[in-house]
Structure 1
Amino acid sequence: MNKFLSLLLGITLLPLLGNAQDRITGKGFATRSAVIAQNGMACTSQPLATQVALDILKKGGNAIDAAIAANATLGLMEPTGNGIGGDLFAIIWDAKTQQLYGLNASGRSPKELTLSYFKEKGMDKIPALGPLPVSVPGCVDGWFEMHNKFGKLKMKEVLSPAINYAREGFPVTELIAFYLQGSSRYLNKYPNFKETYMPNGKALEEGDIFTNPDLANTLEQIAKGGRDAFYKGDIAHTIADFIKLQGGFLSYEDLANHKSEWVTPVSVNYRGYDVWELPPNGQGIAALQMLNILEQYDLKSMGFGSAEYIHTLTEAKKVAYEDRAKYYADPAFNELPVEKLISKAYATERKSLINPDRASRRLEAGKLKDGDTIYMTVADKEGNMVSLIQSNYRGMGSGMVPTGLGFMLQDRGELFTFEEVHFNVYEPNKRPFHTIIPAFVTKNGKPFMSFGVMGGDMQPQGHVQILVNMIDFGMGLQEAGDAPRIRHTGSSEPTGEVMVDGGELHLESGIGYDTIRALMRKGHKVTFKVGGYGGYQAIMYDAEKGVYHGASESRKDGQAAGY
C-alpha cells in the first residue's frame, strides 16, 4: 500500500505474517496455548483474581463460590469496569440438576424520578455522569442469590480474599493504570473520587500499590450482615443520603425494594451447538439473531478474514441490531417478541435484506405483531460452570462515590430513551436496556463452553465471532479469541439513534489490505481503531477426556489458570 493510500484511509496496516513469537504450533495470530486442567479452571481479566478463584476451589468451594470471590476481587482491582456499584448477569450450569439457570441481577430506575422531570429541565437525554443516571446496583444481591441457591462456603470466607487485598493493597496492572489515568482526568471533580482512587492526589500508575480501606469495610459489613447490610442497612442509608445531596433521586426505598430475577436462558441451535443467552433487558439475543442469519451461509468456504465473510457478518449485525434498537427492553413493562425474534423462519425473512455485493446504509426493524465491563468464568471438579459478567457502564460509572464506601455507582440509566412510544422509554422503577451479556454453549444437552466478550455493543458481535471462529473455521479456544476481530458501529440504538449512513466498520490490524480494499468497494466505511474489540474469557469442557480448556484475552491483563 503506497503512502498516499495510507494517509487517505487514516490507517496503518501490518502484514498478516503471524506474531513475533514465531510459535511452532497453532495459528499465526495465536498468542499462547489454551490452559488445560482436570480439577478446576478460572479465567478472568486480572491474574490475582484468577488465583483467588482457584484458591476458593482448592479450599472446597465450588464454581459459584469462586466466581463470587473473583468478582469481588475484580471490583477492587478493576474499578474502571466493575464493582458493587454496578449490575450483574450470570448463566450457571448446575452439575447436580444437569441444567442451566439464568440470573438477571440488574437494578431499576428511581421510583420518584419521572420522564417529565427531564423534559421540564430541557434535557433531550439522560446525562452520562452525575446522580441522574444512577440506577439501583444489583451486583451484591446477585451474589447472594447465586450463593443461596448453589454456594458451599460461607460468604465470610468467599469475600475474605477481596477484603484482604483491599486492606493490604495490590499492584495496579498495566491496562488498569492506563484506564485509571484516563478516568481521573474527567472524574476528579466529583466528591470522594480523589480520596478513593487518587492516593496522594495523583492518578495511579502501573505497579503502584493500591489500598481501598473503605471498600474493605463495606465488604466486611456485607460478609457479616448479608445482602440486607447493603440494601437495608447503613450502606443503603449512606448511598441514598449521598445521592440526594448531589441532586439525585435514588432513595433508601429503591434500594430496600430491590430484587434480582431468575430467568430462563433462551437458545438457538447453530450447526449442532445450542447457544444460550439471557432474554432482554439485555442484548444477548442479538447474537442468536445473527447466528440464525449466518447459518444460512457457507462461511467456511468464504474463509476467515475474507471480504465476503466480513461483509456477511457485518450486514447480519446491522439487520439484528435494528430489532435490538426497537424491541429490547425491560420485559416487565412490555410484551417482548423474543420467541419470534430468535426463530429460524424470521431469520430467513431477515436474510433477504442482505445484498452480497453492497453495504446497507439504512434498515428497518422487523414488522412483528407482538409488541467497560468485566467478564469471567469458573468451572469446578464437580462439573459446575459459571458464566458471569458485571459492569458499572461507561468505564468507572457515574462519578458518584458515596462517602466512606469505597466504590462508584453505575450510570446504566443513561441507556433509556425519551421517546414515549419506545419499549425502552424511561419510566420509574424500570430496568434499562443492558449491554452486558454472559453466554453458554451446550452440545447434546451437555455443557460445552462458558464464555463472554465484554465491551458495550461489541458483545453480541464478539460472541458470534468467537463461535464462528471455532465452529466454522476450526480454531481452538485461545486461537478463537486471539484472531483479529471486527467491530461495526453506528447501528440504530435502543436510546433512539437511527442508522442513516451505514455506520463504520472497524478492523484490527491483522486483516489484510486486499480484504480492506474489497470491503470499501462494497461500500463499507473502513477505519482502523485501537481498542474497543472486547475482552474475552472462556472455558471449554472436553467430556471425552474429562478436562477443561481455558482461554483469556490477550488484549488485556487477564489469565486463564487451572489445577
Structure 2
Amino acid sequence: MRNFHLPGRSEVLATEGMCATSHPLAAQAALDILKSGGNAMDAAISGAVLLGICEPQMTGLGGDCFVLYNRPGETKIRALNGSGRAPAAADAQELRDAGLTSVPIGSPHAITVPGAVDAFCHLSETEGRLELGAILQPAIHYAERGVPVAPRVAFDWIPGAEALQGAARNHYLIHGRVPSVGQMFRAPRQAEVLHRIARQGRDAFYTGEVAEDMVASLNAMGGCHTVEDFAATRCMETEPVSGEYKGLELLEHPPNGQGATAILMLNILSHFDIAAMDPLGSERVHIEAEAAKLAYDARNRFIADPDHTARMEHFLAPETAARLAALIDPKRAMPAAAPLTEAVHKDTVYITVVDRDRMAVSLIYSIYHSFGSGIASEKFGILLQNRGAGFTLEPGHPNELAGGKRPMHTIIPGFLRENGRISMPFGVMGGAYQPNGHARFLTNLADAGMGLQAAIDAPRAFADGGMLKVEQGYSDKVRQQLADLGHRVEVPPAPIGGAQAIRIRDNGTLEGASDPRKDGCALGY
C-alpha cells in the first residue's frame, strides 16, 4: 500500500469494464463504447483512433499498430500484425550508392505504407460488436470540434514541430505556431477521412482520393510509392512468443516487433538475484543496463520482417541467455554494442481495455518519431510514419531495406498469464526502451513486490546510444555510483516512456494503473 502522506495516485478498481491509456478523453471514449454495448476490441479501436487526434505527435492514421487480445472465455492470446511494408520499388542499394549509411528519417525513403487502418477495420469486423461508424464517432467528433492540448502533449509538441515540413506545418501548427496548453487543436480534414472509412471501410483509405493524396504528396518529394502499394496493404494474424519469469508468463508480439527482446532480457536477468538488490539502488540499474546492452545487440542482429527472420528458437533459448549473462561483470560496465538500426524514438501511444466478459485487448499504435516523417498528405493532412528508418542498409542483413518488406518495429504490446489464467494486458511506451520497460515492470512486480501503480511510477534508467539515461527519481549518490562503474550517465530532458496496465484479479475485480509521466488515466465502471 502506498504512503498516503506523499503525492501519488492509487490503482483504479472496478468490476464491469476498464480502460487505461495516455489521454483521459480517449479513456472516457473507450468506456462510453463499453457502456453502449461494445466489447473491449470496439473500445480499444475507438480510443486508439481518438489518441491520434489527442496526441498527434505520437500517432495517427498514417501509422502502424500491433495488437494482442483474447476472446471472451478463452485463455489463448491472439496476435495481429498491423504494420505496413516498404513500397515495392524501395531499394537499399540506391541509398548506398547515394552515400547513405542509414535511411534518412525525414525523407520519403523512410515512409512505409500505413498498416493500422487496415488492422482496425479487420479487427472491427472479426472481433467487434458495433458498427465501424459508432466506433469512429468519438474521433470524428473531436477532430471536428477540437481537443484542448494537454500538458504533456504541449511539452512534446515543441521539439517535435521541428520535424514538420511542407503541408504538415499547415495541418499541425496553429497560425504557424506550436499550440500551448489548453489551446484547441482541430483536424477537420482527418474527420472527413474518418467519415469515409466509417461508410466504406478500409478501401476508403487505401484506394481512391485519400490514397491518391498520400501517393501524390510522397512522389512530389521524391518517393517511389504507388497506389498499388497502398491497395495491397493487409494485416496479418500471427502467434505470440512467450517466456517465463518467476511464475509470470510473458507473451509478446512476434517479429517484426521487438517483443522477443524483453523475453531475452528477462532470461538474462534470471541469472541474477534481483530480489536481493535495492529496488532503487545502483546495483540493480547496472545489471539491468548490462542485460539490455546484450539483449538489444541480439535484437539488432536477428529481428526483422517475419518472412526474413530465423533462429527465434535460438534467440529465446535458455542457453543463449546463460551465455550472455556470463558476459556481465557486476563491477564494471561494458562498452555499448554498436547498433545496426540507428533510429531511436520515444513517440507511441498505448491503450488497454478489459470488458465485463473479460475480453482483454493490448494495443499499441505509433507513427515512429515525433510527428513521424514530418511529411503529411497535402489535402487530408495524413501524417506519415517513418518506420522505414527501422531498416538497416547493411547488405544481406535480415532487416535490410527492400521492396515489400516490413521493418523491425520498436512498438510492443504485452500480456501476462499466471497459472494459465489471463491476468494482465499492459504496455510500456518509449520507443527502443520498450523491451527494457517490460522487463523493468515485471521485475518491479515479481522481485521488488511493488503494487501495480508503484511498479509504473518507479524511476527508470536505460542504456541507450552509449549513455546510461537515469531519470531524476534516482539520487545523485546512485548516479555517481553508476559513473564509478564506468557508465556515461545523463539525466534525460524528458522522462523515459510511459506505461498502462489492467490487472484481472483472481476474484474478477479489475485493477488499473496509468503512468504519471503522461496525461492519461485508468477509468473503470
Q: Is TM-score (shorter-chain normalized) higher than 0.5?
A: yes
SS in 2 for 1:268: strand
For structure 2, the 5+ residue unaligned runs are: 340-346
Q: Deviations over 1:45-70 (max 9, x none)?
A: 11101100000000010000000000
Shift of 1:507: 1.1
Query: Is the contact made by 1:328 and 1:424 (CA closer than 8 Å) also made in structure 2?
Result: yes
Alpha-carbon separation, structure 2, partners of 1:96 and 1:562: 20
Retained in 2: the 8 A contact 1:449–1:538? yes
Contact 2:168/2:381 (8 A) holds in 1: no
Choose 397-406 or 534-543, whichever is displaced more. Answer: 397-406
User: Match of 1:350, SS?
Assistant: helix
Q: 2:214, 2:382 within 8 Å by CA — same for their partners in 1?
A: no
The answer to whether the Cα contact below 8 Å between 1:389 and 1:437 also exists between their aligned partners in 2 is: yes
Where does residue 359 of structure 1 map in the other structure? 333
What is the distance in 1 between the residues matched to 2:293 and 2:475? 23
Residue 10 of structure 1 corresponds to which residue in structure 2?
none
Deviation per CA, 1:1-28: give whole Å up to 9, x if none. xxxxxxxxxxxxxxxxxxxxxxx93498
Q: Which residue of 2 is the match for residue 310 of structure 1?
A: 285
| d(CA) in 1 for partners of 2:481, 2:183 | 46
* Number of equivalent positions: 518
Q: Residue 376 of structure 1: CA displacement?
A: 1.2
Tell me the secondary structure at the aligned position of residue 108 of structure 2. Answer: coil
**1:153 maps onto 2:120 in alignment:** no
Identify which of 178, 191, 196 aligns with 1:203.
178
Is the 1:29–1:483 Cα contact (8 Å) retained in structure 2?
no
What secondary structure does 1:457 align onto?
A: helix
Which has the larger displacement, 107-116 or 533-542? 107-116
TM-score (norm 1): 0.89
> Aligned AA for 2:460?
R
Letter in 2 for 1:271: K
Match of 1:481 among 456, 463, 468: 456
Structure 1, unpaired ranges of 5+: 1-23, 366-371, 491-502
Distance 1:28 1:102 in 2: 42
Distance 1:509 1:116 in 2: 43
Distance 2:101 2:296 in 1: 23
How many angstroms apart in 2 are the aligned matches of 1:228 and 1:474?
A: 48
**Is residue 345 of structure 1 aligned with residue 319 of structure 2?**
yes
**What are the superposed Cα offsets for residues 86-112 of structure 1, whole Å, 9 maximum, x if unpaired?**
000011022243310011110100101
Counterpart residue identity of residue 279, structure 1: P
Map Cα deviations across residues 67-91 of structure 1 (whole Å, 9 max, x no partner): 0000110011111000010000011
Please give the alpha-carbon distance, in whole angstroms, between the structure 2 residues aligned to 1:45 and 1:363: 32
> Alignment partner of 1:82: what SS?
coil
* Identity rate, percent: 40
Quote the Cα distance in structure 1 between the aligned partners of 2:373 and 2:5: 41
The SS at the match of 1:237 is: helix
| Aligned counterpart in structure 2 of residue 114 of structure 1, from 91, 94, 115 | 91
Amino acid at match of 2:300: A
SS in 1 for 2:428: strand
Deviations 1:100-147 (A, max 9, x none): 001111010010121232133332221111322110000101102221
Matches within 5 A, 1:71-470: 71-187=48-164, 190-334=165-309, 336-361=310-335, 372-470=347-445
Amino acid at match of 2:484: R
Letter in 1 for 2:509: V
Q: Distance in 2 between matches of 1:288 and 1:279?
A: 11
Aligned twin of 2:27: 50
Counterpart of 1:549? 511
Contact 2:471 2:495 in 1 (8 A): no
Gap change, CA 1:27 and 1:289, over 3 Å in 2: farther
| Aligned-partner residue type, residue 41 of structure 2 | I
Match of 2:343? none
* Aligned counterparts of 2:161 and 2:338: Cα–Cα separation in 1: 40
Bigger Rg, which one: 1
Does the 8 Å contact 1:173/1:207 carry over to 2? yes
2:12 paired residue number = 35
Distance 2:356 2:131 in 1: 19
- Asked whether the 8 Å contact 1:93–1:101 carries over to 2, the reply is yes
Moved over 3 A (4+): 24-30, 362-365
- What secondary structure, in the 3-state scheme, does the structure 2 residue paired with 1:43 have? strand
Distance in 1 (alpha carbons) for counterparts of 2:322 and 2:174: 56
- Deviation track 1:517-553 (CA, whole Å, cap 9, x = no partner) reads 3222222222222324101111111022x21111111
| Cα distance between partner residues in 1 of 2:205 and 2:407 | 21
Partner SS for 2:361: strand
* 1:505 maps onto 2:468 in alignment: yes
RMSD over equivalenced CA pairs, Å: 1.7
Q: Which amino acid aligns with 2:109?
A: L
1:527 corresponds in structure 2 to 490
Residue type of the alignment partner of 1:412: R
Q: 1:520 to 1:41 in 2, by over 3 A?
A: same
Q: Distance in 2 between matches of 1:378 and 1:242?
A: 36
